Structure 1
Amino acid sequence: MQTKHYLTLADGEFLLDHAHQYAVQKQFNVSIVIVDETGTLLAMKRMDGAAPMTANLALEKAKCSAISRKSSGLFENLIKNGQMGFLTMETFSGMLEGGEPILYEGQLVGAVGVSGVKSFEDAEIALYAIQNFLAQFSS
């Protein structure tokens, strides 16, 4: 039997708060989503001024990242480079940059998805939150 790490609601709120603070600092209006390792919603925030569609996009990016254990931007790049087969998958979406997995001690514990600014900026916000979250556990 193995020990399994997982995100708590407090963890989700920590990630959400750090992503939100970074977005405010950069004057970005985005939607931010935290999901668990199964891609199930744990915490979400749509900032004032963020388009309603960004809430769904952030969730799909986070789910894509969680279930693949990869950055969602990886799939965007694969599609841009001609692997169009990914577009036929009805049960897999959110293949745009801005979803980042949260790996702790080699285990996937969840993902952060962000939508509302340029894709690389969405990813930057997610990575900032994850780095601050994981920094709590380093010695």
Structure 2
Amino acid sequence: MLSKAVLSQTDVSKMLAAARSEAEKNHWAVTISVVDDGGHPLALERLDGCAPIAAYIASEKARSAAIGRRETKGYEDMVNGGRSAFLSAPLLTSLEGGVPVIVDGQVIGAVGVSGVKADQDAQVAKAGVAALS
């Protein structure tokens, strides 16, 4: 039988706080979503001034990173590189800003961010993931 870490609510709170801090430091109005390894929601925070659609997009970025076991930037790069057939994959977003949480080589969840430029979304998500280091 295999064992792996599981995100606790303390972990989720640390990730949200770190991601929020990164966004606020840069004056970015974003939504931050944290999910478990199956892409199921654990937390969502929409900062003041962020468009409502970002809540949906951030959640899908997080879910795609968790179940795809990789950053969503890889999917965006595939599509932008001409592999348009990938748009029919069961992941719901191919947009940068979803980052998996990896512990001991196992994906245990993900952080998704939406609301600013793609690389800025990813910067905020990575700050959230880094809070567990």
Q: Distance in 2 between matches of 1:39 and 1:88?
A: 19
Shift of 1:100: 0.3
Equivalent residue number for residue 63 of structure 2: 63
1:124 matched to which residue of 2?
123
For the 8 Å contact 1:66–1:110, the answer to whether it is kept is yes
CA shift, 1:2, in A, is: 2.3
Structure 1 segments of 4 or more deviating over 2 A? none
Give secondary structure in 2 for the equivalent of 1:133.
Answer: coil
Contact 1:5 1:109 survives alignment (8 Å): yes
Give percent identity, aligned residues only. Answer: 38
- Where structure 2 has 5 or more consecutive residues not aligned to the other structure, the ranges are none
Using the size of structure 2 for normalisation, the TM-score is 0.96
Instruction: Quote the residue 1:137 is aligned against.
Output: none
The alpha-carbon deviation at position 68 of structure 1 amounts to: 0.8
Give the paired residue count. Answer: 133
Question: In structure 1, what is the Cα distance between the partners aligned to 2:131 and 2:5?
Answer: 17
Q: 1:88 to 1:3 in 2, by over 3 A?
A: closer
1:75-97: CA deviation from partner (whole Å, max 9, x where unpaired) = 011001111112123x3212100
2:53 is aligned to: 53
In 1, distance between residues paired with 2:13 and 2:43?
7
Task: Tell me whether 1:19 sits opposite 2:50 in the alignment.
Answer: no
Q: How do 1:40-119 residues align onto structure 2 when only pairs under 5 Å count? A: 40-89=40-89, 91-119=90-118
Structure 1 CA distance, aligned partners of 2:74 and 2:2?
A: 30
Contact 1:100 1:123 in 2 (8 A): yes
**Kept in 2: contact 1:55–1:115 (CA 8 A):** yes
Give TM-score, length-normalised by structure 1. Answer: 0.92
* Partner SS, residue 102 of structure 2: strand
- Cα contact 1:62–1:94 (8 A) shared by 2: no
Q: Could you tell me how far 1:132 is from its partner in structure 2?
A: 2.2
User: CA–CA distance in 1 between the matches of 2:131 and 2:10?
Assistant: 14
1:82 aligned counterpart, secondary structure: coil
